[in-house]
A and B are shown apart, each in its own frame.
Chain A
Amino acid sequence: MSAAFALGFFLVLPKYQEAQMIGAQAEEKIVEIQKRTDYYDALVAIADQLDQCAESYKKIETALPDNPDASALMSFAQAAAMQSGLAVKNISYSQSGSSSSSLPAAGRDSSEKTASLLLREYGVDIGLSGNYESLKNFLQIVEKSSRLIKVKSINLQSKEKDNGENQDMEIAAAPKNDSAGQDDQIIDYEIKLSAHYYE
Chain B
Amino acid sequence: MINVAPKKQGIFLENMVFYVSLLLLALAVGGFFYARHLAAQESERLAGLSMQMAKMKSEEQKDLEGKIKVARQKLEDFSKIASQRRSAANFFNKFEVLVPEKIYFSQCNLDLEKMSASLSGHSKTFQDVGRQIMLFESADSVLESANLLKSAINDDGIVDFEAGIALKLETVAVEQ
Contacts and interface: CB of A to CB of B under 8 A. Distances in A.
Given A30-B49, A176-B101, A177-B101, A148 B113 contact: no
A33 interface: yes
A18 to B, nearest CB: 5
B42 A64 contact: no
B101 A64 contact: no
Given A153-B113, A154-B110, A16 B24 contact: no
B152 interface: no
Interface in A24-78: 25-26, 29-30, 32-33, 36-37, 40, 43-44, 46-47, 50, 57, 60-61, 63-64
Given A64-B81, A153-B111, A171 B32 contact: no
A71 B61 CA distance: 37
Contact of B53 (A15, A36, A155, A156): A36
Contacts of A89: none
Contacts, number: 208
Interface of A: 1, 3-5, 7-8, 11-12, 15-16, 18-19, 22-23, 25-26, 29-30, 32-33, 36-37, 40, 43-44, 46-47, 50, 57, 60-61, 63-64, 102-103, 107, 111-115, 117, 119, 132, 135-136, 139-140, 143, 148, 150-158, 166, 168-173, 176-179, 196, 198
A139 B69 contact: no
Given A15-B32, A136-B92, A169-B121, 6 more contacts: A22-B39, A32-B53, A40-B56, A117-B74, A139-B88, A156-B105
A153 B50 contact: no
